[in-house]
Amino acid sequence: MPVLHNRISNEQLKAQLLAETEPRTTISFYKYFTIVDPKATRDALYQGFSRLAVFGRVYLAHEGINAQISVPQSRVGAFREFLYSFDPALNNLRLNIALDDDGKSFWVLRMKVRDRIVADGIDDPTFDASNVGEYLKAAEVNAMLDDPDAVFIDMRNHYEYEVGHFENALEIPADTFRDQLPKAVEMMEAHKDKKIVMYCTGGIRCEKASAWMKHKGFNKVWHIEGGIIEYARRAREQGLPVRFIGKNFVFDERMGERISEDVIAHCHQCGTPCDTHTNCKNDGCHLLFIQCPACAEKYQGCCSEPCQEESALPEEEQRRRRAGRENGNKIFNKSRGRLNIRPGIPDPE
């Protein structure tokens, strides 16, 4: 059995990526379908993806697959053929191609088996995740945006909504997808006569959310096919007005795709218009926050003066200070005035 994990450091892997001369294409996809043996499926996919030099993050569970990857441009066709032939359920699967792509989104392939491909907190044996709302294509989305009886619900987290969203879309004030589901039901309980349109980055969260809303008795439920990524791509191809305002947060090293030129967020340090996410350079913090170029220079990429001072200390002293401290990626949540502790670049929960 070949080795199914990496033995090279992240620094070496990043260096190898930067040394590549062939451009890469960033792709995301998901599919809710039954996987009898997720571990065996992971191993087989890992070997196939590795042969095609695929990098990225792939989650598998009994309920399906969720992936964000990059593929050398010359191998995109071979990748598509491999994926489509791997399982009948994946044949002709929609692949969301990144809109604003520098090809440097991932530098390693990681595959993990989870209980769910999206953590939803649902513990209801009667829930049918396949009973989803109707898909909306780009032109239909624009028509719904002009319908006074339609309500758009953003099924993403605050830090995503903050930098970009559809016109007049509702933000669900919850920190994770599992908390958003009951909150969305609660918020819309008095508006069951309304047309509910749900959306997210690539479609995986809003598809399940649409099924949950139907399970809770809502009958007029839609969700945007392929999420923001597919909507923006198709709208541009068809010459339609792109009604998403700002930037689409993505879960890789890019941290964002520019959809419109509007900058609707602000630097979390000085308040100037800005929608560039970054992680605090202090290894003892790694806060995910919005920082303008002037503050990046002033604070040397850190989120605060204490972090700036700590990051300038000798490495041994930094390690001593970090010992026993709860570390990981904190997310600045300006709307609720507090920080949320989450590891790494956050998953789309």
Q: Which residues belong to the active site?
A: 200
Give the burial class of 84: count Cβ atoms within 10 A of its Cβ; 0-12 exposed, 13-18 middle, 19 or more buried.
middle
Strands (E), 3-149: 24-32, 55-61, 64-72, 96-97, 109-113, 134-136
Specify the amino acid at residue 145: L
Return the DSSP state at 117: S
Residue 345 near residue 252, CB atoms below 8 Å: yes
Tokens read off for 249: 């947060």
Phi-psi region of 168 (alpha: psi -120 to 50; beta: other; left: phi over 0): left
Q: Report d(CA 125, CA 207) in Å as an integer.
A: 18
> Within the chain, where are the H helices?
10-19, 38-51, 76-86, 138-145, 158-163, 177-188, 204-215, 227-237, 293-298, 305-311, 315-322
Closest among 285, 260, 262 to 274, alpha carbons compared: 262
